[in-house]
Amino acid sequence: MSRLISAISVLLLFATSVDADSFQNGVDAYESGDYLTAIKKLESLAIQGHVKAQYYLGVIYNNEGVEQDDEEAVKWFTRSAKQGYASAQLALGLMYDKGLGIPQDYEKAAQWYKLAAEQNNAEAQFKFGSIYYYGKGVTSDFRKALTWYTLSAKQGYADAQFSLGYMYEVSKDVPRDYREAAKWYKLSAQQGHAIAQNNLGLMYSNGYGITQNYEEAVKWYRKSADQGYSIAQNNFGLMYLSGSGGITKDYKKAFKWFKLAAEQGNENAQFNLGNIYAKGLGIDKDYVDAYKWWTIAGANEHGRARMEKERIEKKMTPGEIANAQELAKLWLEGHENN
C-alpha cells in the first residue's frame, strides 16, 4: 500500500512539473510575441482549470496578436476570476466597465473590482475608488473613493497618487490640503504621469503646499508638455511669452507650444495663439489667422475670444473676414471628433 501511495505521489509531482513547464513555455511564447504557440500551450491547461493559464488566454484574446475576440476573453477571465485570481477579477471588471465582449454593467464591474481590491491589487483599488468617485453603478461617495485611492497610492500606483493629490487640491469632501496634494502629485509625476507633472508645475509656480520654485515649475511643465499634454504645453508657452521662471522671453517658442496645444483643441492655447498672430509676436502679424483661432476658441467656449474677434474685425476687410471664417470652419470640421 505504501508503495502505491509513493507511486501516486511521484506521478502527481511529475504531472505538476509538466504542467508548470507547459505553462512557462506558454508564457514565454506570449512574451516573445508568438501568440499562436502561446494559445496552443496554455489552452489545454486552461481547460483543466489552470487559473493563470485561463487569465493569459483572456489577455491574448482581448488585445494581443491574434484576431481580437472579446467574448472569448470574457469567457477565460470569468473562469479564472471565479477561482479567485485577482488579475483576472480586475480584467473582468474592466470588460464589464467598458462593455467589451459583454453588455456594459457598472454594478458587476464594481463587484469584480472589489474582489480584486480586497486582495490588495493596486490597480483594482484605484478602479474601485473611481467607481465611487464617479458614481458608476453605485452612489457617488468621495470618502470611499479617498479610502481606496489611498490604499492604491500607498502601493505606488501612479493614477491613484494623482487622483489623491487632486482630491486634496480641490477639496473633494476632504479638507483642502495643498501640502498633501503636492506630495502625491510629486510621487505620481516622478513615475511619468503627465497630468500630475503639469499640476506639480502649477504647485511650484504658485507656491501651493510647496516652496515656490519657478525652475522646478518649468522642469515639470516641460516633462508634461513633452508627453503631449495640452494644458502643460499652454502653460509652458505662457512662461516663454512672459519670460518667467528663469526662462528667457522667446515669442517663437511660445508660438510653438501654443500651436501644439491649440491643434489638440485646447481653447486657452487657441486664444493665446490668436494673440500671437494679432500682435505679431515673433512672427508676421496676421489678422486672418488671429481671427481664425479666436473663432475656434470661441466655438470651444473661451470667454474672451468673441470680444477679441469683434475688436479685430474693424481692422479687416470683408474678404479677410470671410477667409478667416472659412479657415475656422474647415479646422472645426476636421476636428469635430476630437
Mean pLDDT along residues 33-49: 89
**pLDDT value, residue 221:** 95
Domain for residue 240, yes or no?
Answer: no
**pLDDT value, residue 171:** 87
What cell was used for 268?
Answer: 486657452
Domain for residue 265, yes or no?
Answer: yes
Report whether pLDDT(124) > 90: yes
pLDDT bin (cut points 50, 70, 90) of residue 5 is very low
Report whether pLDDT(230) > 50: yes
pLDDT bin (cut points 50, 70, 90) of residue 65 is low
Domain for residue 270, yes or no?
Answer: yes
Radius of gyration of the chain (CA): 27
Residue 299 · residue 332 · CB < 8 Å: yes
How many residues does the structure list for the chain? 338
pLDDT bin (cut points 50, 70, 90) of residue 172 is confident
**pLDDT value, residue 64:** 61
**pLDDT value, residue 1:** 52
**Torsion-angle region of 286 (φ positive above 0: left; ψ -120 to 50: alpha; else: beta):** beta
Domain for residue 282, yes or no?
Answer: yes
Q: In this predicted model, what pLDDT tens digit does every residue of 237-269 receive, in sequence order?
A: 999 999 987 889 999 999 999 999 999 999 999
Domain count, the chain: 1
Domain for residue 243, yes or no?
Answer: no
Locus of grid cell 511529475? 14
Domain for residue 4, yes or no?
Answer: no
Q: What average pLDDT does the structure give for the chain?
A: 91
Domain for residue 303, yes or no?
Answer: yes
Q: In this predicted model, what pLDDT tens digit does every residue of 205-221 receive, in sequence order?
A: 999 999 999 889 999 99
**pLDDT value, residue 33:** 83
Q: In this predicted model, what pLDDT tens digit does every residue of 79-102 receive, in sequence order?
A: 999 999 999 999 999 999 999 999
What's the domain range around 306? Answer: 257-338
pLDDT bin (cut points 50, 70, 90) of residue 9 is very low
Report whether pLDDT(337) > 80: no
Give burial (CB, 10 Å; 0-12/13-18/19+) of 316.
middle
What cell was used for 38?
Answer: 502561446
Pairwise CA distance, residues 81 & 94, whole Å: 12
Q: In this predicted model, what pLDDT tens digit does every residue of 144-167 receive, in sequence order?
A: 999 999 999 999 999 999 999 999
Domain for residue 295, yes or no?
Answer: yes
